[in-house]
Structure 1
């Protein structure tokens, strides 16, 4: 008999989630908890508009969940930030993500962002999340092929491409830099452009996206994907799809933002 190692699953804590505010499901929610800064607790670090704090509603078992509040303003998004503001945010977030990873307190540390009603997030106020995973190494699930694709922009320190073998399917942009904090400027500028493209110039109306960061093989990689209703083929069969107009998408992004 062949013994197959049991896959590890994260455990979602429903008793914590029932009290969690959700702007997308509760249209009568009167107050954004991230706007009312005087009531914030468990703050770890603060720099101007940026705050790193413990997640008040840690809904995942065996993790350490942190939140980065990005702005004072609910009604903005990453595509509208100035170049300087975006760079400061990336420096703040990546610094803390890598610091926690380096501490070796967790098996792995993930850094990601939800934006919009189809992203899996619960609040409109711009924020990111850092999560230390006690028992799961996210890197074991990642293949190099997920970050290869049609080149959009390339310098000595930064590569932007459109994945031809995406992790989940359809449109996934990759921004890849050397594991050198001096390259964050290029990552920051490229990420701001990709987000702006998705929310303003994508070939269909898009109001939601996810951003995922990976620290692999002396590189920092950022994957950006628009979010819509998930494909039933992906959910039921694990069958991924790619768009028939990938080249056109890549060419448009290059012409609008990197020419």
Structure 2
């Protein structure tokens, strides 16, 4: 029978450091001289094997975004932003092209409700040996109200969100990095943390490679609605046009 689930190793999971709530926990990503299993270093950016590989049948890596523990994607200079996203996309796509995995996921957690355990800015690139994430992706989840579009790069607010409520999408052609892709992503993160109509402290970014395009979906995180948890029913709010206009007003 085909496997449909990721298996989590709890004996490793209980050893993972956590410093969103445990403020006494030292940040392991700040102790750069103690990091091991480095894959590539580009100045303040480091890709390394995950010291706590909690997912079975997977190859787990961590991308440390910066040496500033208190930074956040929305605060990065344009130079660092593009350096980081180019670096991450390069390694993600190389892992895909290696043919060693059924699929490769690339994502970011930020904030206490994001599902992450460490506050230091980082992403993860994980090769899945026997699961294809694309089987659970519907192209319509990237449909939405256009906020901005430039040189083949599009920034939208989902009208058919995957989980529900507000989801911001960026898309660009798979060949040739476009700076606006990362800049739209940065705008979405900034809007969630500083301009959102409800207090927001957390978000996720999920990257997708589908049908000749690279997508990023930026999702503000709150307590997940029980209608989605219990029944898989996404909800669509009635103020999407207002929010799209707000982003245009603030950033464009």
Q: TM-score, normalised by structure 2?
A: 0.98
Task: Report deviation, 1:7.
Answer: 5.5
| Number of residue pairs aligned between Structure 1 and Structure 2 | 252
Residue 109 of structure 2 corresponds to residue 114 of structure 1 = yes
Structure 1 equivalent of residue 192 of structure 2: 198
Task: Report deviation, 1:254.
Answer: 1.2
Deviates more, 1:151-160 or 1:14-23: 151-160
Counterpart-to-counterpart distance in 2, 1:80 and 1:113: 15
Counterpart-to-counterpart distance in 1, 2:65 and 2:177: 21
Partner of 1:166, secondary structure, is: coil
Written as runs of structure 1 = structure 2, the 5 A alignment for 1:1-259 is 8-29=4-25, 31-183=26-178, 185-257=179-251, 259=252
RMSD: 1.1
Partner of 2:208, secondary structure, is: strand
| Unpaired stretches in structure 1, ≥5 consecutive residues | none
4+ aligned runs moved over 4 Å, structure 1: none
Q: TM-score, normalised by structure 1?
A: 0.95
Counterpart-to-counterpart distance in 2, 1:126 and 1:61: 24
